[in-house]
Amino acid sequence: MILQKNDQYAVECQTKVSQRCLQNGEYCDSEEDAVLWVEYECWINSGEGWICTTCHEKIMNNLVKKRYQKEAEPKKRDPDDGLNSDLEKGIDTVL
Ligand SMILES: [Zn+2]
């Protein structure tokens, strides 16, 4: 995830999912400085690489949206459906 150009190093954004993605951090004299730069800019260390703040924001938004859709989905169906069949099954077993 480290870019190298003319003996200068920059950390590359891992995801680049945002249209406003910075693509990479500032070019520095060493890899360490490049990492320090993104740390200072509050980029997120994913363990495999670095994610710039704009991309991280977008990822988090997508996660929240997905979670919301998941929660909303069962409500579209008749919420009683599953309960009733479970109840009937239970009654059958008891009888
Ligand atoms: Zn990015």
pLDDT per residue over 37-90, tens digit each? 999 999 999 999 999 999 999 999 999 999 888 887 766 656 565 566 566 666
What is the predicted pLDDT for the residue at 9? 98
Residues with CB under 5 A from ligand 1 (ion): 13, 21, 52, 55
In this predicted model, what pLDDT tens digit does every residue of 8-49 receive, in sequence order?
999 999 999 999 999 999 999 999 999 999 999 999 999 999
CA of 32 to the centre of ligand 1 (A): 19
CA of 25 to the centre of ligand 1 (A): 9
Going from the C-alpha of 66 to that of each of 57, 69, 70, the distances in angstroms are 14, 5, 6
Listed in order, strand segments (DSSP E) in 1-95 are 2-5, 8-11, 44-45, 50-51
- The candidate with the shortest Cα–Cα distance to 17, out of 53, 47, 65, 42, is 53
Are 53 and 18 in contact, with CB atoms under 8 Å apart? no
CA of 67 to the centre of ligand 1 (A): 22
What is the predicted pLDDT for the residue at 94? 58
What is the predicted pLDDT for the residue at 70? 82
Q: Which residues pair with 45 in a beta bridge?
A: 50
